[in-house]
Amino acid sequence: MSVDPADFLERAVEIPSHEDVDAMRELLVAELADAGVEARVDDAGNTLARTAGAREGPHVVLNTHIDTVPPHVPPKRDGDVLRGRGSCDAKGPLAVLLSAFLDTEPARGTLTLAVTPDEETESTGADALDLDADCYVVGEPTELDACTAARGRFQGTVTLSGTAAHAAEPESGVSAIQGAAAALRAVEMYDDERGPDTHPSLGAPTLTATTIEGGGATNQIPADCSFVIDRRSVPPETANGFFAGLREHLRAAVPDAVGVEVEPQERTTPFLEAFATPHDSDVVCALCGAGAGDPRPFGAATEASYFADDAPTVVFGPGYLADDEGAVAHAEREYVDLPEVEAGARIVTDALDDLLA
């Protein structure tokens, strides 16, 4: 039995899931049960359901998440537009994937629905998944384009340490702020000297200092200064390789008297790294053949990076990250066009029929 994706979506957006996803997960499990599908929730909070054909074939995984960013914005329907938190990120894509999952009866192979609980924060659910799939479709707002690549996102803190002294005798101390100035200049030159080549789909990586703090008194040479860096990576750069390279680069650029430390952001799970899926992969061809827009990069980091090392991965779903008026996903004005939700469900269903026929 199928589900009306627009109806499911409206009920899903009604449920707050920015602090706790239990109620949203209960809705998903109940919807699957009403359709005669038994779902299980694993120790990491992932909701998993599976169906299989009579013959051997590929294992296709449909993945998205049920958590949202705060605050909760209740649903409001305006004709064919549904507004509210999660309408496009990512309950709209969830409605698409759930509908396609329930509408597909594989003749061969295996189809798994894997819905994670914390994509917007630590991604512990995605990190715990070990599905051994042949391809993944990850639900995010892509305007129904087949997004085959995305930059990664790394964050770290650069700390400079000097020696405090009276500001009237600056030569008696070592200024951490002066060290930070040299480090910031070096950050601007990092990619020219050490960064990866420009990626054919994703372009060049970026490295930006986003916050800075230092000093303890207005009449004192500062002994400490630190700034946060935001890295948007492209293949084949890894988090470990980037931080190792940045440490060497900054140490060479900063005066020897100033200490330099580069520490990655503390996480319980790996960083979301960059990925790129070949356009001739079966899953890409199936989605585009079913009506998805031409392959292009996705504009944000996603849990797709956790799966892309395992198998070809495509990000797909209804909705916009941003439109002509500004931000949509994560914004107070978040919305999705319901005909796009229905079209997305048809596209994924047809693609699955191709992959699992």
pTM: 0.91
Q: Is position 269 within any domain?
A: no
Our answer to whether residue 237 is catalytic in this structure is no
pLDDT tens across 203-247, in order?
999 999 999 999 999 999 999 999 999 999 999 999 999 999 999
Query: Of the residues 119, 140, 224, 350, which is catalytic?
Result: 119
**If we measure between CA atoms, which residue out of 141, 214, 218, 148 comes closest to residue 183?**
214
pLDDT on residue 44: 97
Q: What is the pLDDT of residue 60?
A: 98
DSSP string, 243-272: HHHHHHHHHHHS-TTSEEEEEEPP-SS--B
Residue 278 lies in a domain: yes
pLDDT at residue number 257: 97
Q: Average pLDDT of each block of 10 consecutive residues along the chain (357 residues)?
A: 91 97 98 96 98 95 97 96 97 98 97 97 96 97 97 97 96 96 98 95 95 96 98 95 98 97 96 95 98 96 93 98 96 97 98 97
pLDDT digits (tens, 9 = 90+) for 165-201: 999 999 999 999 999 999 999 999 999 999 999 999 9
Instruction: Give the other-Cβ count within 10 Å of 211's Cβ.
Output: 10
Judge if 12 and 27 occupy the same domain: yes
The domain total for the chain is 2
Which one from 67, 103, 140, 303 is the annotated catalytic residue?
A: 67
The structure tokens listed for 33 are: 């049960």
Question: Reduced to 3 states, what is the DSSP secondary structure of residue 349?
Answer: helix
Determine the pLDDT at residue 1.
Answer: 55
350: domain CATH number is: 3.40.630.10
Residue 298 and residue 174 share a domain: no
Statement to judge: residues 331 and 218 lie in one domain: no
Question: Is residue 119 flagged as an active site residue?
Answer: yes
User: Would you state the pLDDT for residue 108?
Assistant: 97
Q: In what order do the strands lie in the sheet with 81-83?
A: 76-78, 81-83, 335-337
Question: pLDDT value at position 98?
Answer: 98
Tell me the CA distances in angstroms from 70 to 19, 125, 289, 299, 329, one per residue in order: 8, 19, 37, 21, 12
